[in-house]
Amino acid sequence: MLNSVQELSNRVAVITGAASGIGRQMARRLAKEGMRLMLADLDQARLAELTHELSEAGVQVAAQVVDVSKADHLETLAARTYEVLGAAHVLCNNAGVLPPGVPTWSPKPGIWNWTLGVNFYGVLHGIQAFIPRMLDAGQEAHIVNTASIAGLTTRPLMSAYNVSKHAVVALSECLYAELKLTTARIHVSVLCPPWARTPLADNAREDAESAFGFHEAVKQVIGDGVEPEEIVEAMIVAIRESRFWVLTHSQYDKGVRDRFESILARINPSVRDVRKVSTPLR
């Protein structure tokens, strides 16, 4: 268990989606713990900016431009991490995208392919590239998979996003059980934050019009969201305590509880006006 500053210090953390938002804060916070960093992102300019910032602060940091939807990119990232930094003790599968808000029946297969490619397959590719190496190393390690409250609740016009985040939650639960049956040294957390003040909506694809003013509503809610620092602090606690579920803000538990209680009660789902977005997402 990586349960002290001393045990995190001089260890190696790998972060995908590191150049902005929650990933950027992960990098800064883990650097404060004295960790050495491998940062990955598709945005080369932002990645270079963050790498320079941390390097100037004395952090040992390397960076790799990565498209997490491509398995070979994650394999290259893992190989380079072990070559340059010698290990991987904390893996944050964090890269994520927000698709346009369109009905499920909208004939836009590119939206689904893009969303699942990054949000789900990006996590899966990270697991498949790093865990075999972690098992071979035999050291204490921790996997953090970024899902969302949207992995535990649903919202109209968000089917691709909800499906991708539900998949990350299910994948993480399966991984947790499999590792428990395999080793006591590798731990798993699934991070399920609410809306955070990040560029997530600004970076969304613009190849389709969002229905019912959805995208503007999302931008507004993100502007009122929680600070990424709060989310990352909850992640640090989870790593130290080997905590699987990381629901970062308890005030949003009611939405999760109501959904699962309605399932057990065999009650039809409630439907809210998507233009009044209040249930938080990542």
What percentage of the chain exceeds 90 in pLDDT?
75
Given a cut of 90, is residue 196 above it in pLDDT? Answer: no
For residue 108, the model assigns a pLDDT of 76
Say if 281 falls within a structural domain: no
Domain span at 202: 5-276
Say if 282 falls within a structural domain: no
For residue 195, the model assigns a pLDDT of 73
SS3 labels along the chain: CCCCHHHHCCCEEEEECCCCHHHHHHHHHHHHCCCEEEEEECCHHHHHHHHHHHHHCCCCEEEEECCCCCHHHHHHHHHHHHHHCCCCCEEEECCCCCCCCCCCCCCCHHHHHHHHHHHCHHHHHHHHHHHHHHHHHCCCEEEEEECCHHHCCCCCCCHHHHHHHHHHHHHHHHHHHHHHCCCCCEEEEEECCCCECCCCCCCCCCCCCCHHHHHHHHHHHHHCCECHHHHHHHHHHHHHHCCCEECCCHHHHHHHHHHHHHHHCCCCCCCCCHHHCCCCCC
pLDDT tens profile 95-108: 999 998 888 998 77
Compute the average pLDDT of residues 198-219: 57
Arithmetic mean of pLDDT over the chain: 89
- CATH label of the domain that carries residue 194: 3.40.50.720
pLDDT tens profile 140-178: 999 999 999 999 999 888 899 999 999 999 999 999 999
For the chain, the domain total comes to 1
Say if 136 falls within a structural domain: yes
Indicate the pTM of the whole model. Answer: 0.90
For residue 277, the model assigns a pLDDT of 47
